């Protein structure tokens, strides 16, 4: 038996023996109350353009943390409008989530809570104005 064949057998056995995870990704139970795949979007204006770099750091900190917690399917991103602006906001801070259950697990995680509590006041201090929305995919 080649090493590659042995590896494939090991992966298949791992998937069958531990059905709640597949290669480090949580498989969540879906029910009628679960939101499947959503995005949070915080549309904002900053007090100072110099705060852009700090928002990039915040996104990187949270991306690293959720990866350490085993969630490679979650991401935080900071976007700036380009070209002519339509609407009141120049930036968005977004996060993507596979489902509500995963969102709840992450926000209840002690390490995540500590990180959130240390960065949230900085986040709020830099925002001149903004609004928060959740979006679900329709197609």
Q: What is the CATH number of the domain that holds 68?
A: 3.30.70.100
Same domain flag for 19 and 79: no
- Between the CA atoms of 28, 77, 136 and 90, what dihedral angle is there, to the nearest 10 degrees? 160
96: left (phi over 0), alpha (psi -120 to 50) or beta: beta
- Look up the domain containing 70 and give its range: 31-136
Q: Are residues 4 and 36 in the same domain?
A: no
Alpha carbon 111 to its chain's center? 15
**Could you report the per-residue pLDDT of 98-138, keeping only the tens digit for each?**
999 999 999 999 999 999 999 988 888 989 999 999 999 88
pLDDT number for residue 47: 93
> From CA 10, how far away is CA 14, in angstroms rounded?
6
Residues 73 and 91 in one domain: yes
Q: Treating both helix axes as pointing N-terminal to C-terminal, what angle do 110-126 and 52-68 enclose, rounded to 10 degrees? A: 170
- Same domain flag for 81 and 23: no
State whether 97 and 59 are in the same domain: yes
Is residue 116 domain-shared with residue 76, that is, in the same domain?
yes
Sites in the chain below the pLDDT cut of 70: 1-36
What's the distance, CA 81 to chain centroid?
Answer: 20
pTM, rounded to two decimals: 0.69
Q: Would the CA dihedral through 117, 118, 121, 126 be positive or negative?
A: negative
Tell whether 83 and 130 lie within a shared domain.
yes
Number of domains in the chain: 2
């Amino acid at each position: 038996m080649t090493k590659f064949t042995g590896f494939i057998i090991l992966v298949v056995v791992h998937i069958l023996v531990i059905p709640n995870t597949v290669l480090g990704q949580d498989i969540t139970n879906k029910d009628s109350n679960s939101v499947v795949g959503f995005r949070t979007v915080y549309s904002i204006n900053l007090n100072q353009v110099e705060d852009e770099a700090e928002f990039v750091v915040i996104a990187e900190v949270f991306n690293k943390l959720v990866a350490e917690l085993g969630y490679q399917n979650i991401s935080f991103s900071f976007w700036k409008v380009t070209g002519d602006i339509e609407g009141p906001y120049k930036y968005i801070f977004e996060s993507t989530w596979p489902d509500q259950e995963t969102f709840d697990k992450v926000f209840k995680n002690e390490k995540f809570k500590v990180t959130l509590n240390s960065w949230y006041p900085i986040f709020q201090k830099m925002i001149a104005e903004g609004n928060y929305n959740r979006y679900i995919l329709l197609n």
